[in-house]
Amino acid sequence: MAQSPLRFAILGFGRIGRRIARLRPDVAAVLVRPGQEYAARSLLPDTVIATTLQQVLAVGPRIVVEVASASLLRAVAVPVLSAGVDLIPLSLGAFCDEAFLAAATAAAGPGRLVILPGTMGSLDLLGAARESGLTAVKYVSTRPPRGLARTLLTDRFDLDAMTQATLVWSGSARDAGRDFPDNCNLTVGIALAGMGLDATWVEMVADPAAIRTTHRLIFSSGGSDGYLVVEAPPIPPGGDPADFAAFSVLRLLRRWQAPVFI
C-alpha cells in the first residue's frame, strides 16, 4: 500500500531546522527569519519559504514542527493548535511558564501537542511507569565543565579549574528548564511525561574527566523501578546539536506515515 504524503512544516531554520530539511526535503513550508530566504530556497527549491505563521498555515500542513526558540513557541502554539494542526515543539523550556502551558493545553483538541523525548531517546518506559504510579523521578546530567560555559554557573564556579566531578546545580525540572534552556530543555519533556515540573528532580554534574555528556533518568513506581542512560558527544557553546532532538522528529514523521506504528 502506497503511503499518502505527509504534509508538514518547520518553524525555524537554524541548525536543527536545516538538518531536518536536508533529510526530509518534502517539507511543505519553512518559517525563516528575514534574511534567511535565499539560503532556504537554495536548500528547498520546491518548498514554500515563509516569513509569517499565516503563510505557513496557508499551505495546509497536518503537522508543524517548532525548532526555533521558546519565544517563537509562545507566539505560535495557540494559533497552530487552534487551527487544528498538530504541533511538535522542541523549545520545551517555554512550558516552564505555567500560564503558557495551560493556554497551550486548552487550545489543544483539534490539534494535538506532541512532546518528543529528544536527547533522552525514549520516554515510553517513564510513561508506562506513570500508569502504575510514579513515586520519584530524577534526571542527572554529567558533562565536561566546558559544556556549561555561557550559563549562570560561570558566576558560581571556575569551570576551567575543576579537578573532580562536582555537583554544580540541583532543583526542580521547572527551574532547570527556565535557567538552563540550552542544557536542560529535555528535563521539561521528562517532567511532562512523568510527575510534573515541580516534582521532577534535576542534578547537573560538571566532570573534567568526562569525554561525553551522560543523561541519566532514574525513577521509581508501583510497578517497577527504572534506570535509563544515554551518552552523547558534548555540545560546545555555539556548537552543532547533532543529537536525538532532530532525529526524534524524523522518526516520528516516519512513524506517522508507516502502516505499522512502532
- Which residue in the block uniquely carries the three cell numbers 499565516? 54
- Quick check: is 215 catalytic? yes
**Region for 218 from its dihedrals, namely left if φ exceeds 0, alpha if ψ lies in -120 to 50, beta otherwise:** beta
**CB contact at 8 A, 21 and 45:** no
CB 118 within 8 A of CB 190: no
Among 28, 151, 215, 249, the one annotated catalytic: 215
Cα separation, 48 vs 59, in Å, equals 8
Instruction: Decide if 141 contacts 204 (C-beta within 8 A).
Output: yes
- In b/e form, how buried is each residue of 202-241, taking b as 16+ CB within 10 angstroms? bbbbbbeebeebbbbbbbebeeeebebebebebbeeeeeb
Coil vs helix vs strand at 208: coil
Active site residues: 215
